[in-house]
Amino acid sequence: MQNEELKSKKISFIGAGIIAGVFMERLIKSGITKPNNILATDIKHDQLNRLHDLFGIKVSTTNKDGVEFGDFIVIAIPPNAVKTVLSESFQSISEQQVIISLAAAVPTWFMEGTLNKEVSIIRVIPNTPSLVGQGMNPYCVGKYVNDDALKLAESFLDIFGKKIRIEESMMNVITALTAVGPTYIFPIIQALIEVSTKLGLKSDDAKVAAAQTVLGAASLVLETNRSPEDLKHMIATRTLKEDEAKALFMQAVEEAFSKVSSAEKKIVA
């Protein structure tokens, strides 16, 4: 029922960058949204033209057009531009519309204060695997979100993969984990491909084998509910310097968390 409701909704993307393109492509390929029910706005003509040519969506260089078009308004602009865009372009927004913000480090209370209206705001931290419906999209909600808006927003997120509702105070932590997370994993896959190819495996075979190995290991954690520390003992041969690898990844997440937290402090100051 929720998907049927979504099919009738118009969706605006304020910002036409990479992650907006990921969401648009998934919406259209899933059959949930028709191209003529999507409008993207951006100041960059080339990005708008590219998305129009790829997907047949509507485009505009005026954010106000996006605000007036969409039932859902997806904010997909740099975090430091959110306050200005909300102040300049969102004065006509109504309490019946729903904002889904993909802007990292911008709290719902900050957006609510800027709008000074009782509008439903759902803050989402997307990640790139959403393109193939395998995303991990944590979210939190603003104080004006009602049950109907929340149900529709959750159905919207289901199109892109897994979702998890968390407290807003944890959004910067989970941003460092899930949004930046693919950048920790892709080099591992690439390294496995390169060394396997070096040792004689065909490159296409190495790519499939490496990616499926990572996917399978992740699925094993989720489906057995056993800890990675426990599951590693199922394999007799282990040649990785585990303590060094763990320290490397922990440092990467902590540095990402520090950057996101610093960005938030600057934005809300």
Contact 12, 66 (CB under 8 A): yes
The DSSP code sequence of 147-185 is HHHHHHHHHHHHTTEEEEE--GGGHHHHIIIIISTHHHH
Rg of the chain over all Cα atoms, to the nearest angstrom: 20
Domain range 182-268, CATH architecture:
Orthogonal Bundle (1.10)
Identify the pLDDT of residue 5. Answer: 84
Identify the pLDDT of residue 2. Answer: 60
Identify the pLDDT of residue 30. Answer: 92
Q: 2-171 and 182-268: same fold? A: no
Q: Which two tokens stand for residue 248?
A: 């490397």
CA dist 202 and 105 (Å) reads: 43
Write down the domain spans for the chain.
Answer: 2-171, 182-268
Identify the pLDDT of residue 268. Answer: 95
CA dist 203 and 96 (Å) reads: 52
CA dist 233 and 2 (Å) reads: 43
CA dist 230 and 234 (Å) reads: 8
Instruction: Using a cut of 0.85, tell me whether the model's pTM lies above it.
Output: yes
Residues of the chain with pLDDT under 70: 1-2
CA dist 137 and 111 (Å) reads: 20
CATH of 2-171 given 3.40.50.720, 3.30.950.10, 2.60.120.1140, 3.40.50.2300:
3.40.50.720
Q: φ and ψ at 44, to 5 degrees?
A: -95, 110
